[in-house]
Structure 1
Amino acid sequence: MSSFTWKDDFRTGIEEMDKHHKKFFDYLTQLEEAAGGSKGKEVIERGLKLADDYIKYHFTEEEKLLKITGFPGLAHQTKEHKFFVSQINDLRDKYTKGDAFLPISTLAFLRDWFLHHILEEDKKYGEYLSGVAE
C-alpha cells in the first residue's frame, strides 16, 4: 500500500500541468497497490501501459508549453523527460518479457524521481511563467 499523499507544495502554479502531475501520481499509486496486492499480471501490464502513455502525453504537452513561452530551461527539461521515459520503458519491457515480479521499490523510485523533478525542475517553469504573465 502506498504512503503517498498529494500536497499543495507539489503545485507548480500552472493548473493544467498540476492536473497532469496529480493524475500521473494516481497511476503510480494504483500500480504500487496492484504490485503489492494479488492483482494479476494483466492488470499490472495495463497499469504500466497507462502510466507510460500518460507520461509521454504529459511531457509532450509540457514541452510544447515551455517552447511557446520561451522557457530557457527547455533543453534540460527535455533531457530529464527522456531519461524518465527510458526508465518506464525499461520497466515495462522487463515486466512484459517474463519478469512477473514488479518490486514496490522500483515504483517508489519512479514516484520519487518524478516528485523530485516537479519540486526541483518544474517549479522553475512555474516561477518563470508567473513572471512572464505579470
Structure 2
Amino acid sequence: MRIEWTDKFRAGVEKFDSQHKGLIELINELQRIISVGGGSKELEKVVTEIYEHKKNHFADEERLMLDHNYPEFEQHAKEHREMLDWLSRHRENLAAGDKMATVELSGYLSDWLMNHVAKTDMQYGQFFNDRGVY
C-alpha cells in the first residue's frame, strides 16, 4: 500500500521534513518493486539507497541535537543505531537470497514511519522551533 505524506509526519524542521518525504518515496519504491516481483538487484539497489539515506539523515538530526543540547539525544541516537543495525542485517539477508527479508523490510520501514517519524521525531520539532530552527 502506497504511503502518502501527511502532516502527521511533519516535524517542523524543513530539512528533516524533506528527508522524511524522501524516505516515504523510497519505501513506496521498495513496495512497488515487491508488488511487481522485481529482481534481487533492483531490490538490493533500493535497500542500499534507503540505508544510505537513513545514515545521512540520522547524522544530520544528531548533529543538530548535539548543537542544541537536545535532552532526549541519547535515546534518539540509540533508536537510530538500532535501525541502521537492523537494516544492515536485512541487507545481508537479502543479498543472500532471503525472500522474507524483503517483506520484513517493507513492514519494518512502514512501522518506523508510524512509530519513530510520526511520534519520536515530533518531540524535537517544537524543541528546535523554540530555538529558531525551522
TM norm structure 1: 0.91
In the comparison of the two structures, how many residue pairs are matched? 133
User: What stretches of structure 2 of length at least 5 have no aligned partner?
Assistant: none
Q: Percent identity?
A: 24
Give 1:3's aligned amino acid.
R
1:20 counterpart residue number? 19
Tell whether 2:72 aligns with 1:73: yes
Deviation of 1:120 (Å):
1.9
1:41 counterpart residue number? 40
1:125 counterpart residue number? 124
Q: Could you tell me how far apart the structure 1 residues matched to 2:105 and 2:60 are? A: 26
Residues 1:105 and 1:96: Cα distance change in structure 2 (over 3 Å):
closer
Cα pair 2:33 2:42 within 8 Å, conserved:
yes
Cα pair 1:14 1:126 within 8 Å, conserved:
yes
User: What stretches of structure 1 of length at least 5 have no aligned partner?
Assistant: none
Residues 27-58 of structure 1 show CA distances to partners (whole Å, capped at 9, x for unaligned) of 11101110121311111110111111110000
1:104 counterpart residue number? 103
Q: Could you tell me how far apart the structure 1 residues matched to 2:114 and 2:15 are? A: 17
